[in-house]
Amino acid sequence: MKLNIKSCLVAGMFSLTMASCSLLGPIDDIHPENVLDDETVITDARSAEIAVNGIYEGWRAKSSIYNALFLRTGVMQSSSVSGARSFLTGDIQDDNVIVEETYIFLYYIINQANSVLAALDKDIKGLSEEENLNYQREAKFNRAMANFMLLRLYGEFCNMDSQYGIVLHDAPVRDNTPKARATVRQCYTSILDDLKEAEVLPVKHSSLGTVAMYYGNYLSAKALKAKVLLSMGNFDEAYKLADEVITKGADEGIMLEPVYGDIFSSFQSTDLLFYPYTMNNQQTVAGYRYDWSAGAGNTLRKIAALYPEDKRYAWAFDAENMISSYRMNKYQMNDNVDKVPGNSLYMLRLSEMYLVKAEAAIRKPAPDFTAAREALRPITDRAGFAADFVDNVADKDMLMTVFYQKYLELFGENFEDWFDMIRYNKLDGTDWVALGYVNSWTRLALPIPRSAIAGNDLLVQNP
C-alpha cells in the first residue's frame, strides 16, 4: 500500500476529530464534517483561536511511541502495545505500526501548523496585527517541536554533516508531490528559524491569573532551543540559553517545585514550561500510554539502585501510597471525567534546563565543572541527596552522573533518555549494551515507513 503525506493527513483527520471544529486540513476534494480547509477555517478572531488550539490538541492524539521507547531504554518492564516489543529487541522494521503511526502523527501537527500559517496570511476580522503575528509564532513553535522530534526519531540528528535529515514542509500539503529529505544541517536551520520567531511570544495567563504554559511562549521556545543546541553540539550557547530560561523563568513564577511529587499533582506546577493543551476527556492521551502494570523496567531499577537515597523512583512506584490507577504516580490526574484536566504529558520542564545546563557546562570547549555542579545541585537536593553529593563526584564521573540524574528526573515522561543515550554513545563512546542498559544498539534512527517511501520516489531510506 502506498502512503503519501496527503492520505496520511486525511486519515489522521478522521481519527483525531474532536468536539470542537478545531481540526483543519488543506485537502481539496474531501471535506468531512468538523474539518475545514485553510481557505475558510479562519474568518475572525474566535476561529483563529480555535484553529491554533487545534494544533496543540494534536500532541495528545497518539502515544504508542512512548511505550515503545520506554521499553527500549529500560524505563518500562513490558508493554502490550502492538509493535512495541520490536523496540526492546532492536528488530524494528519499516512496516512497524508504531513507526508509521508516529511518522503520520508528527507530520499531521506540522500540516496543522502550516494550514494555520496559510490561513493567517491576511487581515482577519477582530484580530490585531500583533495578535495575528503571535498566532503565527505559536504555529511555528509547534512546527519546530514536531520537526525536532521527527529529526531525532527518524534522522541522524547527532551528525551535522549527514544527508539523512527529514522531509521539511513550510506550506500545507495539497497533493502527492515527491520531496527529498533535507540534510541534518538544513533541518536544524529550519527549526532554529522557527524558534527565533517564537522567542518573542509573551507568556499567556488563564482566567484565574495563573501562567498558561499550555501555550508556546518565549520561555518554552528558548527551552526547546537549548535542547536543539545541545543536540547540535553547540554547548556554549546551550549553556547560556538554559541559564537564561532558569533566570527569566523566575520572573514569570516558573521555578523548581520544592517537592518532586507536586509536579504531577496539578497543571499549575511551577516546574512546567510546556504541556499540550488539555480541557476535558476528549483531549487526553490514549490510555494505552500508561502501561505500567508490570512495573519499572530493569534499567530504571538498576540506576535507582545506584542511589538508594533517591526519592523520585521510590515515590513513583510506592505501592503502599499509590495514587495512580496506572500504577505509576506520575500519572495521577483523571482521564475519564468530563471537564477535568487529563493526565500529565509534560514536554518541557524547568528541571530539564538545569540538567541541560549541567551537561553543556561539562562539554563546552572550556569545561566548567563548578558550574555543572551548581546546576546539578538543586536537582539532587530536591531528590533527597546529601548536600555535598555533587561536591564528591569526581570530574571524570560528572557526565555519567548528569545522565543518571536526568534519567531519574524525567523517566516515563518524554523519552529524552533515548536521545541522551545516542548522544553519549556518539560523543563519549558509552556502550549501553555492555552496561546492560539496553538489549541492542541497532536502528538508532527509526526506519522511514515503507508506505511513505512507496508514495514518494525521492524519499531515501535510512542506512
pLDDT digits (tens, 9 = 90+) for 343-366: 788 999 999 999 999 999 999 999
The C-alpha atoms of residue 2 and residue 95 are separated, in whole angstroms, by: 12
Q: How many residues does the chain have?
A: 463
pTM (2 d.p.): 0.91
Residue 340 burial (C-beta neighbours within 10 Å; 0-12, 13-18, 19+): middle
Task: Give per-residue pLDDT as tens, 33-56.
Answer: 344 455 557 999 999 999 999 899
Hey, is 35 helix, strand or coil?
A: strand
Query: If phi over 0 gives left and psi between -120 and 50 gives alpha, with beta otherwise, what is residue 214?
Result: alpha
* Type of residue found at 348: L
The CA-to-CA distance between both ends of the chain, in Å, stands at: 22
Determine the distance from the C-alpha atom of residue 230 to the mean position of all C-alpha atoms in its chain, rounded to a whole number: 15
Query: What is the DSSP code (8-state) at residue 203?
Result: P
* Type of residue found at 286: A
Task: Name the class of domain 201-414.
Answer: mainly alpha
Query: What pLDDT was estimated at residue 32?
Result: 35
CA count, 13 A, side-chain hemisphere, 286: 13
* Type of residue found at 194: D
Tell me which of 444 and 414 has the higher pLDDT: 444
Q: Would 1-198+449-463 and 201-414 be classified into the same CATH topology?
A: yes
Q: Please check the confidence at residue 288 and state whether its pLDDT lies above 70.
A: no
Q: Report the share of the chain in percent with pLDDT over 90.
A: 75
Strands 23-24 and 35-36: what pairing? Answer: parallel
The answer to whether the beta carbons of residues 423 and 158 sit under 8 Å apart is yes
Q: Please check the confidence at residue 103 and state whether its pLDDT lies above 90.
A: yes
Residue 220 burial (C-beta neighbours within 10 Å; 0-12, 13-18, 19+): buried
Q: Which CATH number fits domain 1-198+449-463: 1.10.600.10, 2.60.40.10, 3.40.50.150, 1.25.40.390?
A: 1.25.40.390
Query: What pLDDT was estimated at residue 27?
Result: 26
Domain extent listing, the chain: 1-198+449-463, 201-414
The C-alpha atoms of residue 69 and residue 87 are separated, in whole angstroms, by: 7
